[in-house]
Amino acid sequence: MTTALIAEDEPLLAENLRAELATAWPALDIVAQAGSGTAAVELALQHRPQVCFLDIRMPGMTGLEAAQAISEDWPEDVGALPLFVFVTAYDQYALQAFEAAAADYLLKPVTSERLAQSVARLQARLAQPTAGDATLAALRQLLTQASAPAPRLRHLQAAVGDAIELVPMDDIVYLEAADKYVRAVTAQRDYWVRVSLRELVPQLDPERFWQVHRSTVVHIDAVARALRQENGTVLLELRQRPEKLTVSRVHAIRFKAL
């Protein structure tokens, strides 16, 4: 029996999807239902479903962010990652992006015909031994597409005492999320910037600043070497800092030349 999780912050829509799935996929076992992205991550790691239906717009953590967190924290000994189905009200351009990334989606309100197509697609992918690899590839592309373009930053404004210090982007070794702040690390010191990493990432040059974990972005020129680990992650050794940075499985493909 295939297991699944539903994450939807609107109870009526969640129950409607559950009822439609009961008709379209009678053998599917809904093992958990979440009302937020954070709860979806916790329940997915607890119940380890094979399929996750994630609403895109949920309070706190979006469906895309929840999928990323689930993928990065998924236990190695469990097997393949779950397949993610994003429930969305995005416009046609975004829907085309979802399809190009080979990840399925359901457009609100969910229709019986479209759900039947999704069920057939999911059943076919679950029969493939490399379904987890396809999930990672699709998720990486979706995360990239979800970041709206913005003017590239040339420096960060960091509060230092009573002053605002302008930190050149070239001096930054890596950026680390810390609740509503970002810790900007240079070779000599750390700075704290009052902005979330999610807000900051679209303003970074993607050729120079690589997201290697949902909470970490590294200046690729500051990386000395990458070391692949047995669990599928990668450790980055830095040129001017002693600490090592962990690259999650979602982003480890960027170092596939190892």
- Each residue's pLDDT, cut to its tens digit, for the chain (258 residues) gives 899 999 999 999 999 999 999 999 999 999 999 999 999 999 999 999 999 999 988 888 888 889 888 988 888 777 788 889 988 876 554 555 455 444 588 888 889 999 999 999 999 988 886 666 666 666 666 666 655 556 789 999 998 888 999 999 999 999 999 988 999 999 999 999 999 998 898 899 989 999 999 899 999 999 999 998 887 679 999 999 999 999 988 888 888 754
Among candidate residues 218, 257, 209, the one with its CA nearest the CA of residue 238? 218
Picking from 236, 155, 227, 221, the residue whose alpha carbon sits closest to that of residue 191 is 155
Q: Which fold has domain 155-255?
A: OB fold (Dihydrolipoamide Acetyltransferase, E2P) (2.40.50)
φ, ψ of residue 221 in degrees (nearest 5) = -70, -15
Pull the structure tokens for residue 102.
């080979």
Q: What's the 3-state SS for 198-220?
A: HHHHHHCCCCCEEEEECCEEEEH
Per-residue pLDDT, 147: 55
Which pLDDT tens digit goes with each residue over 188-200?
999 999 999 988 9
Query: Domain spans of the chain?
Result: 3-146, 155-255
Model confidence, pTM: 0.71
Tell the CATH superfamily of the 3-146 domain.
Response regulator (3.40.50.2300)
Could you give the CA distance from residue 241 to residue 187 in angstroms, rounded to a whole number?
Answer: 6
DSSP assigned state of 161: T
135: closest CA among 228, 68, 206? 68
What stretches of 25-127 show up as alpha helix (H) in DSSP? 37-47, 63-73, 92-100, 112-126
* 155-255 has the same fold as 3-146: no
In the block, which residue shows the tokens 């008709």?
23
Two tokens at 240? 């001017």
